[in-house]
Amino acid sequence: MPHPASTGQTIAQKILARAAGRDAVTVGEYVNCVPDHVVTQEMVWPMHKRNLDKIGARRFARPEKAIIVIDHTPAAATGSPHAATHHMLKQLTQDYGVENFYGPNTGLRHLVLVERGYARPGSLVFSDEGNIASIGAVGALNIPMSTDVLAPLLKDQHWVCVPKTIRIELAGSLPFGVTGRDLVQTIIRDHEEKGTFLQCCVEYGGPALAGLSLDDRQAILASTFHTGADTAIMDVDDRALAYVEERAGGRPYQPVRSDPDAEYAAVFAYDLSQLTPMVTIPPTQSGAVDIAQAAGRRIDQATVGSCANNRLDDMRAAAAVLRGRKIAPHVTMYISPGSQNVYAAAAREGLLEIFAQAGAAVLSPGCNTCWGYLGVLSGEEVSITTHQFNYQGRNGSTAASVYLASPYTVAASAVAGEITDPRPLLAGRI
């Protein structure tokens, strides 16, 4: 088909056009794209290995582009099938020449991509998960393709349907005790059930970005998938570029910005100064309410972790509340740093000691509790967590209830023994 005329392009269109060897692409067309990297995790590899054996494949097209991370099962217990998967992947990555293999306790592949310089402005990553849109904080585009991710490993290309782009303009600054997590829960509440963002790339920009840390930006992008969007990305500013420059290791990158005449499916505006601490009530993603409407619900478990909130800022937020306090006697609290780097930084800052003295259990870096590998809920237990999901049975018992909130709110609730507004406990601390 003829190439489209060079009209205004969004960030996503420009990245896909480059990967397809084109000057421009049109929303809705299918293009074959060559990725900069392909990232996967261990849970799907027993199936991938069977398929590779079935077709007789013994090599990847570009093994240097493959990134394989063991991040869902950082420790394989007695009787667990995951020990065999760990062993298989160690052997497979050697046989296939995959140097970018990260074993147990390295951390989530979301953080591996940004911390180790794989995700860079203008780069295209094919992955097995929509939450990896967090790499959009440094201007990289994630295209999730679930189990199809094996195809680009074998062919170094795969088709992509060019998504529509929805623009979100951010203004103002976050109030006391409010984080980027509260913003994205508000956005999910406003749009998930309407289907506004289906098959879209959500592009964030506006003056408020400058006031958001890289950790908060990643938190927002990691959860935007739950609006129904395919992926998400942010405008790249000097803060993001400085972060990338420290980690790129000489790898090339090119910041990409939308054209002034780029076409958006819709544009929405959010004033951060109007936000309050939010709690998402189970079992739907769209059930976010102001903290006052959920306060007082007794909890049994509190958890800080998952690809939404497992970065250093999240550790600092929990520690700000927990410092010098004790978790309520009837509450179990788990904290999962997102990577070895986050774990080490938290240790240097004394955050792990604060968690231990408060009575929390600090787990090894990884997904851990979010998908129910650790910290399983029993009976009608109630959890408040920074996890990504709150559907029934996600973390164990189908009778259990999972409430979603920011690290501030989770830590405050752990201390109070019930869902509580974190702001009074934060007074004078941040």
Domains of the chain: 11-270 (3.30.499.10), 279-423 (3.30.499.10)
Q: Residue 430: what pLDDT? A: 87
- How far apart (Å, rounded) are the C-alpha atoms in residues 75 and 81? 11
Answer whether 234's CB lies under 8 Å from 139's CB.
yes
Alpha-carbon distance 316 to 76, whole Å?
29
pLDDT at 302 over 90: yes
Residue 238 pLDDT > 90: yes
Q: Look at residue 7 in the predicted model and tell me its pLDDT.
A: 81
Cα–Cα distance, 327 to 358 (Å, whole number): 6
pTM more than 0.85? yes
Torsion angles phi and psi, residue 271, rounded to 5: -100, 110
Report the pLDDT averaged over residues 120-139.
98
Overall average pLDDT of the 253-269 stretch: 97
State how far Cα 125 lies from the chain centre: 14
The predicted pLDDT at position 258 comes to: 98
State whether residue 127 is helix, strand or coil. Answer: strand
Q: What is the pLDDT of residues 162-199, one digit of tens each?
A: 999 999 999 999 999 999 999 999 999 999 999 999 99
Tell me how crowded residue 264 is: count the other CB atoms within 10 A of its CB: 16
List beta partners, residue 239: none
Instruction: Provide the pLDDT for residue 5.
Output: 47
Q: Considering the chain, what percentage of its residues have pLDDT values greater than 90?
A: 95
* Cis peptide, bond prior to residue 144, ω within 30 of zero: no
Q: Which two tokens stand for residue 291?
A: 């903290």
pLDDT band of 207, cuts 50, 70, 90: very high
| Dist. CA 125–CA 232, nearest whole Å | 12
Q: Provide mean pLDDT across the span 258-282.
A: 98
Whether 149 shows a pLDDT value over 60: the answer reads yes
Q: pLDDT tens for residues 51-79?
A: 999 999 999 999 999 999 999 998 887 78
Quick one: residue 206, left, alpha or beta (phi over 0 = left, psi -120 to 50 = alpha)? left
Which 3 state secondary structure label does DSSP give 46?
A: helix
Tokens (6 digits) for 112: 């591996």
pLDDT of amino acid 77: 79
What are φ and ψ of residue 334, in 5° steps? Answer: -120, 140
Residue 2 pLDDT? 42
User: What DSSP element (H or E) covers 41?
Assistant: strand 37-41
Helix, strand, coil shares of the chain, percent, nearest 5, are 35, 20, 45
Q: Over 60: is that where the pLDDT of 3 sits? A: no
Rounded CA separation 75/83 (Å):
8
pLDDT digits over 44-57, tens only? 999 999 999 999 99
CA separation for the pair 225, 202 (Å, rounded) = 9
User: Helix, strand or coil for residue 144?
Assistant: strand
Band (1; pLDDT cuts 50, 70, 90):
very low
Dist CA 412 CA 420 (whole Å) = 6
Total length of the chain: 430
* Cβ-Cβ contacts under 8 Å for 175 (sequence gap 6 or more): 272, 273, 275, 276
Find out whether 346 and 313 touch, Cβ atoms under 8 Å: no
